[in-house]
Amino acid sequence: MKIKPVLDALDAAGAATDLVHAGQHYDEDVNDVFFADLGLRSPDHHLGTGSGTQAEQTARVMTAFEPLLDRLAPDVVVVVGDVTATLAVALVTAKSGSRLAHVEAGLRSGNRTMPEEINRIVVDRISDDLFAPSPDAVANLVAEGTPDGTIHLVGNVMVDSLLANLDRASRQPLLADLGLEPRTYGVVTLHRPANVDDPVVLARLLSALGAVARDCPLIFPVHPRTRAALRDHALPPGLRTVPPLGYLDFLALESGARLVLTDSGGLQEETTVLGVPCLTLREETERPITVTEGTNQVVGRDPDRIVAAARAALGRPWAPRRPEGWDGHAADRIAAVLCER
């Protein structure tokens, strides 16, 4: 979702590109279907990382990527987001002769117990070009002493993908297949370790979701990580699980919802653009612009707070928001900087 518009913009600008798939996400439900939905070409190189601890995944990506980088000798390596593979590829690139560019730079939650936060900090520190999605991300980089001329406020590539695919998503038959009418249901996603790995925390969240579901039925596409954690829990009435969805199907589901409850970063951004109220089931967000200029509320994991916020959100209208640079052309601005370099 993040690399597709960047790759298209670079191709349109005449750049020669190689697409490398790290293999960190390899389940067909959360990998192959996204390539098909987005029209993303098959990877030119596949590192085949697979599962394992974060240290194991980092090491596998580094050892697989290093010989590829030596062989290709690119002018620039572009990494996106904050996953383990992003960090691993960045570390190898920073010690090579290639430039390193980070798309979605400058995001900070302030919570270093999150692996993603460490990844963001390290990758930004060693990158040559930092493409920030929002003014708050620029402010974070400036406060950390990032050198002048390396920070570029380009906007949000996730929004590029959303706007490019919204019409296609509206024609998906998913709602009819599930027997749903727009604005009659909510959507839930949970996948972060802090929410799904601790049985006590997960039970409290399920209790809150059950209370919300009494006011608004909830559809819960279950992430592979979460699927295993749910085996030891009884699902409350009104919470309906479905298998993981492809990009277009999920966009159709999300855009038709009355409410989204999530621990995902990307959904906080998408719901802002769609005008769907979002409750973030975490204690902080690395995307505060979705709170100050969007439809997002950070409500934490306390069941009473979650239920109260959900009922309040269901009782008021929400309008779509477009923060600066969330206009569908972030990738064009990224390509322009990279080609100028």
Active site residues: 191
Residue 259: count of CB within 10 angstroms of its CB: 25
* Residue that the structure tokens 């518009």 belong to: 5
Which of 183, 145, 129, 148 minimizes the C-alpha distance to 337?
A: 129
Sheet of 186-189, strand order: 239-242, 218-221, 186-189, 259-262, 278-280, 296-298
In this structure, what DSSP letter does residue 28 have? G
Distance, CA of 169 to CA of 174 (rounded, Å): 9
| Cα 242 to Cα 25, 35, 144, 224, distances in angstroms | 19, 21, 42, 11
Which of 108, 149, 104, 110 minimizes the C-alpha distance to 131?
A: 104
* Residue that the structure tokens 């960045």 belong to: 90
Altogether, the residues listed in the chain come to a count of 341
Distance, CA of 263 to CA of 271 (rounded, Å): 13
Return the SS3 of 5.
helix
Cα 156 to its chain centre, rounded Å, is: 11
Task: Name 299's bridge partners.
Answer: none
Distance, CA of 248 to CA of 133 (rounded, Å): 23
* Residue that the structure tokens 């919570």 belong to: 111
Answer for the pair 307, 211: CB distance below 8 angstroms, yes or no.
yes
Task: Name 45's bridge partners.
Answer: 20
Return the SS3 of 268.
helix
Distance, CA of 158 to CA of 164 (rounded, Å): 10
Answer for the pair 325, 154: CB distance below 8 angstroms, yes or no.
yes
